[in-house]
Each structure stands twice: as C-alpha cells, then as structure tokens.
Amino acid sequence: MTENTQLMPAIFIDRDGTLIEEVNFLSRVEDLRIFPFTKPALEAFVAAGFRLFIVTNQSGIGRELFTENDMHDIHEALREAFGGLITGFYYCPHLPNAGCDCRKPNTALIERAASEHNIDLSRSWFIGDKDLDVRTGINAGTKTCLVLTGYGEKHKEILEDQPTLIADNIGEAAREIIALLRG
C-alpha cells in the first residue's frame, strides 16, 4: 500500500434475510424479493462514504441444491437492482463442516475484501440477521448490527455476543449508523 492510499470504511452485509427476504436456499432470480427499504439504505451508506460488500454463506452450492452460476445470476440481479452501489460480492460455497476459512463466522472473505479495496476494518460495520453475522463482525474487528428481519427476531434471543446495535431492518440500521458517524 502506498502512502497516498487512504483506507476507507465499509459496510459488510449479509445477503439473505438482511438485504432480501429469506428464502431457504435461494436458487432462482424469480424467487428474489428485495426489501423496499434496502436500496435507500444502501444509497445512504454510499453517500456517507462507505463502500458496500455482500458477504454470504452459500452452502446450497456445496449441497448441490444450486450451482455457482445460479448464485451469480442472483448477484447480477442485485447488482442491477442496486445500480452499482455494491462494491463486491464475497461468498463461501462450502458445507458447514468443510473446515474452510471463508465460511462465516470466519473472516477470510472480509479480510480479502479489506485487502483488495483498502478497507479500514476498525471504521467498518458488519450487518446481518444472525448470531453468526454478529460473531463474524466481532472476529473481523468491525462494529456489528443485528437486524430483526430474516432470522433476526429469533436470533436476538440466542446471541452469544451483543452487537454494537440492534435495528428493525437495514433502513433503520443505516439511519442509526450514519447518526453515530455524525456524532
């Protein structure tokens, strides 16, 4: 990294249940349902100076329920719907017991994104709807937000670690995180 390279803050976001409605093993673009508050939240984050990354476990690939191409089609549909607001998509295709370092709550995907895009993890956030997402953010050294969409309401009761913030949805999370940023 050169002296002129400034580290940027980022928002790392779980996909299913956080940005979009939870569909067990989403495999078809036709089944994709984006929450109405998602795009305005993403726009607010970008306007506040954050880069946005989707970080998602997609074990349906390892289970052979859908292909990587199916997942890429869904990500392309999201990229189009969000008008290029997402800087990058990072995913783990492995089974839960595969022992990889990329499956949340491990941090290889976040570390790779941070390295490739000059991200300051100490000024970044991880937003998701599961205890696993909160642990991922803590493990990576980011602040964390649990949203109550998807599995969030249920996971709020079983959290191993307290998130920095709990919000009803990603829209409220954006408002609260940006308010904290502005002091």
The answer to whether residue 4 is domain-embedded is no
Write out the two tokens for 154. 């249920």
Residue 2 counted as domain residue: no
Q: What is the distance between the alpha carbons of residues 166 and 159, in angstroms, rounded to a whole number?
A: 11
Please give the mean pLDDT across all residues of the chain: 95
Determine the structural domain holding residue 45 and report its residue range. 10-182
Confidence band (pLDDT; 50, 70, 90) for 4? low
Domain count, the chain: 1
Q: Is the pLDDT of residue 146 over 50?
A: yes
CATH number of the domain where residue 66 is located = 3.40.50.1000
Per-residue pLDDT at 183: 82
Q: How far apart are CA 111 and CA 133, in angstroms?
A: 15
Active site positions, annotated: 14, 16
5 part of a folded domain: no
For the stretch 162-171, pLDDT in tens is: 999 999 999 9
